[in-house]
Amino acid sequence: MQSLDHIYQFKAALKNVAPPVWRRIQIADTATFWELHVAIQNAMGWEGYHLHCFEFLEKGKRVGIRIGIPDEEIGDWGDEFFCGWRVKLSDWFKKEGDKCRYDYDFGDGWEHVVFLEKISPRDKGTKYPRCIAGKRACPPEDCGGPWGYAELLKIIKDSRHLGYKDMMEWLGAPFDPEAFDCNDVYFDNAQKRLKDMLAHQ
């Protein structure tokens, strides 16, 4: 059995967006799915105020094992649902090549593929989680999902577009879809975020 003193290297890639947007994240295998959620949010650039869910699909099934935040408004998640802060990554990610789906903001429908690229020994001189690579800026929060983001990119490329002024005002600042720098990623304290979230439920 694998020792629980390893680092998982994940590639989290946003689906249905072109050109591709992705991040490469390293995190302890003893971390929970809540901690992975926070790390993905921080690395991608999401604000984190919408619901999320990890899903492991089993062959031949339309609905798989779901891990996330219980929410009464969604209704019955089914029997195969687990709270993310109670499940360790090593409980479900067993070997390199394992993957799952990660959904964020069920309204906009941001779907990611989370792929376990590598399992390696922990470097005692390194702080985890960390983002070691990535491409392109994260789409702005609440822009309407992949379709809305494609429309946003189309509009801001053309200053003569009728919607250009309104879109730039909505963005509030210049937006470069190609911009991303690992050095700009700051990781929140996942336990503090969990405590704050539970206090406001």
Q: Where are the domains of the chain?
A: 6-138+178-199
- pLDDT for residue 80: 79
Alpha-carbon dihedral 88, 94, 100, 106, rounded to 10 degrees = -10
d(CA 40, CA 25): 8
| Tens digit of each residue's pLDDT (9 = 90 or more) over 131-147 | 999 999 999 999 999 99
- The owner of tokens 């971390």 is 31
12 in Cβ contact with 25 (< 8 Å) = yes
At 2, the pLDDT band (50, 70, 90 cuts) reads very low
- pLDDT for residue 81: 86
Please give the structure tokens belonging to residue 35. 């901690």
| Tens digit of each residue's pLDDT (9 = 90 or more) over 90-134 | 999 999 999 999 999 999 999 999 999 999 999 888 999 999 999
What is the distance between the terminal CA atoms of the chain, rounded to a whole angstrom? 38
E strands in the chain: 6-14, 22-28, 52-56, 65-68, 81-83, 99-104, 110-121, 130-135
- pLDDT for residue 171: 96
Q: What are phi and psi of 118, to 5 degrees?
A: -155, 145
At 59, the pLDDT band (50, 70, 90 cuts) reads low
- pLDDT for residue 190: 95
At 185, the pLDDT band (50, 70, 90 cuts) reads very high
Mean pLDDT over 166-173 rounds to 95
Task: Say what percent of the chain tops pLDDT 90.
Answer: 81
At 74, the pLDDT band (50, 70, 90 cuts) reads low
Give, in words, the CATH class of 6-138+178-199: alpha beta
Q: Show the DSSP H helices in the chain as ranges.
A: 33-44, 145-156, 164-171, 190-199
d(CA 131, CA 187): 9
143 in Cβ contact with 101 (< 8 Å) = no
- pLDDT for residue 188: 95
- pLDDT for residue 4: 52
Please give the structure tokens belonging to residue 120. 């390696």
